[in-house]
Structure 1
């Protein structure tokens, strides 16, 4: 082989080698993976069972009555507090009221029995008139007594708390004739947070 051929073959080999080296720096393996993500908000769904807690007629001073109802968490999230708001309207039958009928209807207690302890009830409200209760927003699922026998504060998803309430038309020992025939419509609103 002539020197020219050898030189040409050497140059061609060098060019091929450089091409492989240069090509090797640009060659690589690759793979791709994708992730699908979802953000779904949970739900708060609080129910009161039964929806009508009390409906009574023919009250007289000194009358009292106890009722039971459940606060039910039908949602997917735990409820940390349930705030109770009170409002009411009075229908004055004779138009002679000089006082608010709500000042004479007292909530002797509102007890969350699921949070009570063997030695004492878990009273959310204790001896408060409807008139005074309008200015309060107690937490109906708060544990107010010390102890470890029953549930702590809150209302976990899929559970319920049984509540007991006692209402009394307070006999103040005075003339309460102005309330004869009157009607008080009570609205309790329970707000889950």
Structure 2
């Protein structure tokens, strides 16, 4: 046999030997199991009942209106905060308004029907519209919810008193006017937790 064939044969034998040895070092027993896992996301579902809190006609300075409504948690997650956004538009019937009608409508948030004289927070619609929702939550909803929020399946009664303030001055500019009020209640979840 010539030297080239001997070297080639030797090299092939060495590679084959290393392969067999290497393959042998990776042989081991094995087993496997599969797990099935699920992440199901909960829901926030805040309901307001009734959806129209107030609708009145022919009001005059000095009139007051007390209305109650419910906030309901119909979701599967606890509600940590309720943020209230206020917006309104005024229809100026005579086109002579020099003041904002919303500055003359006072709003009082009250505890509940058996405590009508206990005011949680009092302001005007104009100021309420300019307030940040987080501030309203702090001043109105935290005292009502006792900082616990609104748990799943629970509801809370709210009472509001609207008052057309008689300021003792000429308020003729508001005759025939109307104010359309929109309250948007936004629910936020509680803090996440380790479970």
Q: Pick the TM interval, shorter chain.
A: 0.7 to 0.9
Contact 2:110 2:161 in 1 (8 A): no
The answer to whether structure 1 residue 175 and structure 2 residue 174 are counterparts is: no
- Contact kept in structure 1, 2:101 and 2:174, CA below 8 Å: yes
By how many angstroms is 1:134 displaced?
A: 1.0
- CA shift, 1:132, in A, is 0.7
Where in structure 2 are there 5+ consecutive unaligned residues? Answer: 1-24, 189-195
Instruction: Name the structure with the higher helix share.
Output: 2
Which of 128, 153, 166 is the matching residue for 1:133?
A: 128
Counterpart CA distance in 1 for 2:165 and 2:146 is: 33
TM-score by length of 1: 0.74
Match of 1:78 in 2: 78
Question: What TM-score, normalized to structure 2?
Answer: 0.73
**Partner residue of 2:110?**
111
Q: Which digits, 9 at most, give the CA deviation of each residue in 1:130-184, with x for residues without a partner? A: 001112221153127xxxxx85430011111100000000000001111011000
Which structure 2 residues correspond to residues 153-164 of structure 1 after superposition, within 5 A?
Answer: 153-164=148-159
Larger Rg: 1
Q: Does 1:190 align with 2:189?
A: no
- 1-structure distance, mates of 2:101, 2:94: 13
Deviation at 1:33, TM superposition (A): 1.6
Deviations 1:95-121 (A, max 9, x none): 1111110000000x213549x9x9x94
CA RMSD of aligned residues (A): 2.5
Q: How many residues align?
A: 159
